[in-house]
A and B are shown apart, each in its own frame.
Chain A
Amino acid sequence: MATLFEGFTLCGLVQTSSASDSAIQGIELDGDSDHAVVTDSTRAVTLYKVSDQKPLGSWTVKQGQLLTCPAVFNFQTKEYVVVSDNKVIRVWKEEDLNLDKAFKATVSADVWRVHSAPGGELVVLFQRGAVRLLDSLLSAPQQPIEGILSEKEVIRWSTNIVAEKQHFVLFTTEQRGEHFLYVQRLNPNTLQKYRLEREDSGASPLSFSASLRDKHINLLYLYPNGCVYQSVVAVRGPVGLEGVQALPRSLRLRLPVGEGELGAASAVALDEAHVAVVGMPHPSARTGKDFLCIWNTNFQTLQAGKEMVGRIRGQVWCYLGKLFVPHGKALSVIPYECQKSSLASALGKLRHPGIAVSKSSVAIPSWNTLLHGDQPQGPTKIVDTRKSKLRRKSQSAPALTVDQVLELIKTGPVEEVRREVEALVSRGDAQDLQLSVGRLACQLVARSQVETAFYAPGALARLVQTQCLCHSMCPDLLLLALEHKDYFLCQLCLQLFPDIPEVVTCACLKTFIGVPDGDVEMVSLEPDSVSFMEGLVAAGARGGQQNGFSPPLFEDSCDPHHQPKPPQHQDKKNPTLQLEVCPVGLHKAVLLNEVLQTPYSDNLLVPHLKDLNAPQVILFLQYLQFIYLKYSQDVYTQTPVLRSPTMTQIIDWVCLLLDAHFTVLVMAPDAKGLLSNLQSFVKSQVKLFSELGKIEGSLQELHKMKPSKDISQYSIEVIELF
């Protein structure tokens, strides 16, 4: 998981006149890891101590002069270097007070950037594409500079990378809508030119980011349509290949763009699995594009998001675990942390192990299929295979392509949409199923949101069942289902989405608790979970009979559509009987079970749990108590095949609820009995564990005694003395 921590403002920004210009040209590192050299768009270079948020020094050029390149730090000589008015290179030290008195050298051609990297020499990149080491340039400033780029070609972006003692300067250019990547190797100097693949829309990349990984330079670039592509250039690539080569790319991420295209956005790779993006909309928030998000490219999931106040200029720098984002009137520093991504952490906590293997396996390996084009293997769609085979046979008419279906969704009637979607999905090639399913779902949801009359439960359910969909791909789906009281779809989503945010889980929970029993009982739900719940309720009833009780519920409990009477009708003087009766309806219980099994992290869940009101909490706690009791009874034996909440999940939820609502519960008179019951459970658990602890202690003693076992009362041994 990745986390964005609370950020802080490093400095205010000068408001620039035009919308596209940024107030900051660049941020570079100093020799000190806590320093940042900020170059503004006009005349000033400021050195900040980041943790103290205070400037350590500032240097400006004279009025009329202009800094045309961000200041960089020379790690070898401990000097700062900046270029003013394209041609004048200035070199100074931290002690120097006045930039005008610093060393100056005027070169013969316009400079694009000076690049610096720890462990490498400073490199000057000229606007016409030539590259010189700063030292050699300063020794003869007026040396002729050749032009490498053609007439209309302009540099858009550049960076340098030091890899294995090899120094690279990378820069991208644009020429008549075409984009090229130049890789300039220094010592020996070679230049390789690559052509970037054209995006369909013909748009230009918004941002580039290069990083070195496994002896390859990874170039990450973002297009306005939200696609993040990655291209890989080998460090020891083919040297001396003539001409322009095509640069293959792979789609790493398709960001939800919302309406329109991205304007000023930027993506920067944080590590091999995480990308930070600024200037994009948050999938959960409907409006605004001023978010900083961290996405996991392996799982295509949103890991963290933060709204940035004020306009984002599409700039982001990432140094040593901190993101520097200029937005509005401030430059913010946001520390982040990317933990090594793993399946488990991406899935969140408490995924039922059995289910994680059998059902989620498809949703997760999707990044595999994306990356390597593998066919999904193993238990992918056991449920679906037979159906799809049948369909394949019956389907003789040529089916529609994804784009056609997308068009159809925009206008077509529900039934037709369902049919076509089904056809598409069952025919679907695993390769791009992931992408097309996401697009279809988004389209369906979008239309439903616009046209309140349109709602295609069947098609959506079918899409969800492909297990290629996850919450972050189509964030509105689950909420839409809730809105339309499509509990079956809700159940499917809860079962199959690995990445439901806690706020949505809570919304589901709230809806499920609040819904009248009668409404739910008519809905058909997944049969496995229903039968599990029936079994659970019936088990208790049988137990009651054995004990001589004949609760009124028993006679009808075999009927699956029977609605157990609410506990108010029961004999309140008989607490044991009351505990035996499920406080909610059967189907409601099934839905609540799904919520219990949803992965979550407790820190994020507790604040949202506070949205529940007291009666809801009490009802839910009663239900949890009921199911806990059932689990504790001997009659219940957990059937492994059925999807059912585990004891730990139940206890965790009880804890979470109590955490979130403790004061409310203590004050509520009708919660008193409940709390005292829960306390007795806790006591019994504590007792159980203490007993187990004792047993463990004794067993450990046995374990310890083992080695001494061989020394008995008497033995004849052989020893040797030297």
Chain B
Amino acid sequence: MGEFKVHRVRFFDYMPTAIRAMAFNAHTERLALGRMDGSVEIFNFADRYFQEKVIPGKDSRSIEALCWVGGRLFSAGLNGEITEYDLETLRPKYSLEAYGGPIWTITSNSQGAHLAIGCEDGTVKLFEVLEESIQFERNLDRQKGRIISLSWHPSGTQIAAGMMDMIRVFDVPTGRAVQRLLVDRGFGGSKSRETVVWSVVFLSDCTIISGDSAGKVQVWDGHTGTLVKTHLVTKWDVLALSVSKDESSVVVGTSEGTVIQFQFIAPTLQQQQDKEWVRTRTFKNHTHDVRALAEIETAIVSGGMDTQLVVRPLLEKFDERSHASALRKIQFPHRNLVFCAKKAGLLLFQFPGQLELWRLGESDGHGKPGDSLPLKRKPEKLLHLKRKGEDHICCSALSSCGGWLAYSTMSSVRLYRLQTDNNDISISKVPKLPKILRSAHQLCFSSDSSKLFAASSQSSVLVIALSQSECKYVHTLKPKSGSRQPIHLMTNSVDGKWLATANSDCEIHVYNVQKLKLHCIVPVYGSCPSAMGIHPTTNNLTMVHADQQIFEYSIVEKQYTDWSRKLQKQGLHNLWLDRDTPVTHVTFNPKNPEQILLHDMHMFCIIDQSLPLPDQKTQFYNQMTLRSLSEQERPSHLHAFKICKTFQDLLSVSLLDDQSLVMVERPLLAITCQLPAPVRQKKFAT
């Protein structure tokens, strides 16, 4: 197959932010995740936990809690505002000042008619959920001290509120506090510190379960206001609680990074009637605070300060081993943050607050496989471009010649002209962008850098013509389907004729850019495409979906290619299908049209379409075997999937025009190193 020169890049200091809140919508199987920087991510749990949408953050926004009402997503934060998000335009629909100081929590009743928020000033405010907005209804009896956590009784008539040192139960119709449950303080030195009831849940049998800063999980009888049972689970804080749908299990997240499950079971086999809450399992998948938790049908989803989302399947709910029963950690976003100018050898790194442009190093040496070559020129950071405004960057693009750079925030798009001669770089902002170009979900330059494509609302694409002197709006490409979902993937062909877009409805549209019209719609497949690319010579569109399926579609012939049919007929290898991170990039080798280059977080793969496809009995990861075989024996063992796992924690793989690969790694260890210190735990001999 051959040798490749690899630029192994580890200087992209990508740093995800901590997870603060989580809400699972069991109806749509979507998980909304709120991060510390105010961004919201939507994961489709029905589609291999694919990160479907990202609503970029904003400096002034903070998310303390998230809440679904039907298909609508609300958040509340310490800035005192309630925000509803528009999941089609990926931006806040509106924000509402609650006038109660910082808001600690937001929760809706099971009927979906009301929202309750807990405020710093001690009020629980009820909002009525209207068709298009929400409206303040009334305050419940104001208490002394902030309201940290809230939970509706499923009937909607009572609310339990976690406060400092106590839990209040309110009667919703009258607004009166009917119970006052005092929560003990911690022992020893923490006696003088107030206990914060970080989380409460109100069960339908009027049991209240609370988790507090003294490390206790307490079970209360809501009728009488008496303490039933105290479980001391940690020396630190119990931060999050989540109850399963059938109320038979409660999971608890602690500052130690553990998730502890309690189950409502009979302690002995004889007395099946006398059930009680028993601590059953402890999971330790986090190193830091577990701030957000959700117990879904078959798994416990947790996230916290260590930035990763962990889906821990409950194995008793599975009959057989499959990809769904495997522990899954989602560490990297499922979209590109790295853009490569193939001709110029430049890399663009996208951060929420800035862009970085780097020039790759050079080496003129040659070496054996496995060698590191001596560097003639070190990589160089050419540009550090800070965003304007308080909205975070949601997408960016770099033209392949390295002459153009664009980024978009929620409120504006900015385009820059880059000029590099030798070591000097000059950047100039292109003024007077067309008015219609307000914001974009995706940006992409045509390969000859003459056009800029910007994915706009309702799956439409704006075509902007670029020239030295001006930039001009050309056309808006609109899908026929009338989908309102945002575009999350966009790619164009090298010959400049085709543009393909994919949206969250799993639709893939192919436009003829020269004729400025829709060329065709690829048959919709049930899983969201996670990466796609158009072949430079054959103009075949290769798509990889979140469920790891690969399709190749001939744009010209408007049908799947023979290779794709063969692949679907034979089926992909199980080891390929069981991988737990989606392919995030598809690219091609212009020198060798048979080759498709793919990568996910843990591997890099070259598919050689000229070679036979592996069947289930073939050894799938066969590079080591091939290496050990002699030249003559090798051909009989070759198959199409050539997988290299030398490079780990991959964020991007691209092939430069000089046939060298660029691998951008972000070692997880480096991310861990930058996290704040976890809570101190006594370990042996320390």
Complex CA–CA separation, A715 to B623 (angstroms):
23
Q: Mark B616-638, 1 if CB is under 8 A from A, else 0.
A: 00000001001100000010001
Q: How far is A317 from B366 in the complex, measured between Cα atoms in Å?
A: 78
Roughly how many angstroms separate A720 CA and B626 CA in the complex, as a whole number? 11
Cα-based distance from A711 to B666 in the complex (angstroms): 12
Within 8 Å by CB of A720, from B3, B372, B378, B634, lies: B3
Q: What A residues does B11 contact at CB under 8 A?
A: 713-714
> Nearest chain B CB to A162's CB is how many angstroms away?
51
Residue of A nearest to B13 (CB): A713
Chain B positions 641-686 with a Cβ under 8 Å from a chain A Cβ: 642, 644, 646, 660, 685-686
Which of B8, B367, B370 is in CB contact (< 8 Å) with A714? B8
**Is the Cβ of A714 less than 8 Å from the Cβ of B10?**
yes
- A719: which of B361, B369, B375 is its contact (CB, 8 Å)? B369
**Cα separation A370 to B575 with both chains bound (whole Å):** 73
A678-722: CB near B (< 8 Å → 1, else 0) gives 000000000000000100010000000000001111111111111
Asked if B379 lies at the interface with its beta carbon under 8 angstroms from chain A, I say yes
Does B368 belong to the interface (CB within 8 Å)?
A: yes
CA distance A712 to B638 in the complex (A): 33
Collect the chain B residues with CB atoms within 8 Å of residue A716's CB: 5-8, 361-363, 372-373, 375, 660
Distance (whole angstroms) from the CB of A501 to the closest CB of chain B = 39
CB-based contact A717/B6 at 8 Å: yes
Tell me whether A722 and B634 are in contact (CB under 8 A). Answer: yes
**Interfacial chain B residues near A711, Cβ < 8 Å:** 8, 10
Contacts of B369 in A (CB 8 A): 718-720
Q: Contacts of B173 on A, CB cut-off 8 Å?
A: none
- Complex interface residues of chain B between 1 and 46 (CB less than 8 A to chain A): 1-11
A713 partner residues in chain B, CB cutoff 8 A: 10-11
- Roughly how many angstroms separate A713 CA and B642 CA in the complex, as a whole number? 26
Q: How far is B360's CA from A714's CA once the two chains are assembled, in angstroms?
A: 9
Query: Across the interface, which residues of A come within 8 angstroms of B7, CB to CB?
Result: 714, 716
Separation of A715 and B646 alpha carbons in the complex (Å): 14
B543 at the interface (CB under 8 A from A): no
Name the residue on A nearest B606 (C-beta): A721
Q: How far is the CA of A356 from the CA of B296 in the complex (A)?
A: 72
| Separation of A716 and B4 alpha carbons in the complex (Å) | 10
What B residues does A693 contact at CB under 8 A? 685
Whole-angstrom CA separation of A717 from B375 in the bound complex: 10
Q: Are B634 and A718 in contact (CB under 8 A)?
A: no
B424 within 8 A of A: no
Alpha-carbon gap, A90 to B368, bound state (A): 84
B234-256 to A contact mask, C-beta < 8 Å, 1/0: 00000000000000000000000
Taking CB atoms, residues of chain A closer than 8 Å to B366 are 718
Determine whether B371 belongs to the interface, using a CB cutoff of 8 Å to chain A.
yes
Nearest A residue to B368 by beta-carbon distance? A718
Min CB distance A716 to B, Å, is 5
Smallest CB separation, A631 vs chain B (Å): 27
Chain B interfacial residues counted at CB < 8 A: 37
Q: How far is the CB of A707 from chain B (nearest CB, A)?
A: 13
In contact, B5 and A718 (Cβ under 8 angstroms): yes
The CA of A56 and the CA of B366, in the complex, are separated in Å by: 84
What residue of chain A has the Cβ atom nearest to residue B12's Cβ?
A: A713
Once bound together, how far apart are the Cα atoms of A20 and B535, in whole Å? 109
Partner of B373, one of A697, A710, A717, A721: A717
User: Which of A693, A710, A722 is most buried by chain B, counting CB atoms within 10 A of its CB?
Assistant: A722
Partner of B638, one of A714, A720, A722: A722
Give chain B residues whose Cβ lies under 8 Å from the Cβ of A710: 372
- The answer for the CA separation of A717 and B1 in the assembled complex, in Å, is 17
Verify B6–A721 contact, CB threshold 8 A.
no
Q: A722 is contacted by which of B5, B8, B375, B627 (Cβ under 8 Å)?
A: B627
Residue pair A717, B2 in contact (C-beta under 8 Å): no
| Contact of A718 (CB < 8 Å), options: B367, B375, B606, B627 | B367
Bound form: Cα–Cα A718–B4 in Å: 6
Min CB gap B112→A, angstroms: 51
B1 contact set on A, CB distance < 8 A: 720-722
Given A713-B10, A714-B379, decide whether A721 and B371 contact each other with a Cβ distance below 8 A. Answer: no
Residues on A with beta carbons closer than 8 Å to the beta carbon of B685 = 693
> Are the CB atoms of B8 and A721 closer together than 8 Å?
no
Query: What chain A residues lie within 8 Å of B10 (beta carbons)?
Result: 711-714
Of all chain A residues, the one with the shortest Cβ separation from B378 is A714
Contacts of B3 in A (CB 8 A): 718-720
B308 to chain A, nearest CB (A): 21
Judge whether B363 and A721 touch: CB under 8 Å.
Answer: no
B644's contact among A714, A715, A719, by CB below 8 Å, is which?
Answer: A719
A719 to B644, CA, bound (A): 9
How far, in Å, is B245 (CB) from chain A's closest CB? 45
Q: Which of A716, A717, A722 has the most C-beta atoms of chain B within 10 angstroms of its own C-beta?
A: A716
Residue on A with the closest CB to B369?
A: A720
Q: How many Å from the CB of B48 to the closest CB on chain A?
A: 27
Instruction: Flag if B8 contacts A720 (CB, 8 Å).
Output: no
Give the CA-CA distance A712 to B370 in the complex, in Å: 15
- Chain B residues whose C-beta falls within 8 Å of the C-beta of A718 in the assembled complex: 3-6, 366-371, 373
Q: CA separation between A722 and B636, bound complex, in Å?
A: 12
Known: A711-B10, A714-B11. A719 touches B4 (CB 8 A): yes
CB within 8 Å of A: which B348-368 residues:
361-363, 366-368
Q: Which of A477-516 contact B (CB under 8 A)?
A: none
Cα separation A721 to B645 with both chains bound (whole Å): 11
How far, in angstroms, from A713 to B11 measured CA to CA in the complex?
Answer: 5
Chain A contacts for B634, CB-based, 8 A: 722
* Bound: A697/B363 CA distance, A: 39
In whole Å, how far is B641's beta carbon from the nearest beta carbon of chain A?
Answer: 11
Shortest A722–chain B CB gap in Å is 4
B644 touches A721 (CB 8 A): yes
**CB contact list, A370-409 vs B, under 8 A:** none
Minimum Cβ distance to chain A for residue B653 (Å): 12
CB distance from A39 to the nearest CB of B (A): 60
Bound-state CA distance A45–B572 (Å) is 80
Contact A721 B623 (CB under 8 A): yes
Closest to A722 in B: B626
Closest to A694 in B: B686
Closest residue of chain A to B6, judged by CB? A717
Cα distance, A259 to B3, chains bound together (Å): 92
- Please judge, given known A-B contacts A693-B685, A721-B642, A722-B634, whether A715 and B606 are in contact too, CB under 8 Å: no
- Chain A, 502-536, CB within 8 A of any chain B CB: none
- Looking at the complex, which one of A714, A719, A720, A722 makes contact with B9 (CB distance below 8 Å)? A714
- Report B-chain residues with C-beta under 8 Å of the C-beta of A697: 686
Per the 8 Å Cβ criterion, residues 219-273 of A in contact with B are: none
Q: State the Cβ distance, B639 to closest chain A Cβ, in Å.
A: 11
Which residues of B, 385-439, contact A by the 8 Å Cβ criterion? none
Tell me, in angstroms, the Cα distance from A710 to B372 when the chains sit together.
Answer: 10
A209 vs B3: C-alpha distance when bound (angstroms): 76
**In the complex, which residues of chain B have a beta carbon less than 8 angstroms from the beta carbon of A712?**
10
The distance in angstroms between the C-alpha atoms of A693 and B623, with both chains bound, is: 44
In the complex the two chains form, what is the Cα distance from A719 to B7 in whole Å?
Answer: 11
- Our pick among A714, A721, A722 for the contact of B4 (Cβ within 8 Å) is A721
Q: Which residues of B contact A719 (CB under 8 A)?
A: 3-4, 6, 369-370, 644, 646
Q: Would A717 and B368 count as touching, CB distance under 8 A?
A: no
Chain B, 519-562, contact with A by CB distance < 8 Å: what is the 0/1 string?
Answer: 00000000000000000000000000000000000000000000
Output the least CB separation between A300 and chain B (Å).
46
- CB <8 Å contact, B379 and A717: no
Q: Please give 12 more A-B residue pairs, beta carbons under 8 A apart, in addition to A716-B362, A719-B6, A722-B623.
A: A713-B10, A714-B7, A715-B373, A716-B7, A716-B8, A716-B373, A717-B5, A717-B8, A717-B373, A718-B373, A720-B1, A720-B2
Q: Which 4 A-B pairs have the closest CB atoms?
A: A720-B369, A722-B626, A716-B363, A721-B1
26 A-B pairs with CB atoms under 8 Å apart are: A710-B372, A711-B8, A713-B11, A715-B375, A716-B6, A716-B7, A716-B362, A716-B363, A716-B373, A716-B375, A717-B5, A717-B8, A717-B371, A717-B372, A718-B5, A718-B6, A718-B366, A718-B369, A718-B373, A719-B3, A719-B6, A720-B627, A721-B1, A722-B626, A722-B627, A722-B642
